[in-house]
Structure 1
Amino acid sequence: MKTESETVLIETEGRSGVITLNRPEALNALTHPMVVRIAEALTAWEDDPAIGHVLLRGAGERGLCAGGDIRAIHADAKAGTTASLGFWRDEYRLNARIARYPKPYVALMDGIVMGGGVGVSAHGSVRIVTERARVAMPETGIGFVPDVGGTYLLSRA
């Protein structure tokens, strides 16, 4: 199992602050520690004059991000605990922060981009959507309203 620092790679390349979601075996599904790590990187770069923009990308060939880690959320619900509440709170705050980020936030939306993956990418100021992109809010298939601001984003697409 990867450590928290291995599931989200934070680096700089020139004037770019680069965030790489690094769980390709799980389609880069977001965990709570990943959300926290992304937020920490944004905080560090927000007032750093050496960073001109942020780039978000996913490791592996299958996609940027399949959304929240459903297995962890299911295990939390099955155990009757409430750890998922912190994940949802921090993920939604991160999405709002990305939408208001003062520097260009460039999201490379390649391959599968679902649920929380839409949240950490489509709220950015620059979206690069490739011909391989498959963007989805799967909860709509069972009658739920999309989260992560999905209806807001779709109304402006």
Structure 2
Amino acid sequence: MTNLQTLRQVIQSLEAHRGDFHDVLMQRMRHDSRLTPTQLEHLGHQRLNHSEIEILSLVNQTHELPYKTLTSQVNFSQGMLSRYVKKLLTAELLVKVPLPNNKKAYDLAITPTGTILAELHDALHREEAAAYNTVLAQFSESELETTEAVLRAMGQVSLKA
């Protein structure tokens, strides 16, 4: 097997891990005693993705966050953010808080249900970070620097004409 094939397999494994993360998060949500059966049913219909739950975590850090501030904290387009926020508002995980001096701008506040999802998400990320740190401790600084250099170089490859 070539180095490229091996790297592709490793990347696929990491991508599968992201799916596992979401599955574990949904499982923990279903077993969280703070959520009622009605809330769980409602959330089950929402089909939230990781980016949407990440938004909940960002808002939960301050419990209320200006929409404009949120735009600077995410790595996706304004249009995508707008769609995600609209979905979270519809799902009643976030609410708009009007600003007294500006009728167009608003803050986003997290609901109690949104807070639960954000807390579950953040706890799982802390567990993931601890597990990654355990794995990374097995490698020398030099090995980690080489790995980082390879991944950065691969991330800069462009297929544009």
Do both share a fold (TM > 0.5)?
A: no
**Larger helix percent:** 2
From the CA coordinates, give the structure whose radius of gyration is larger.
2
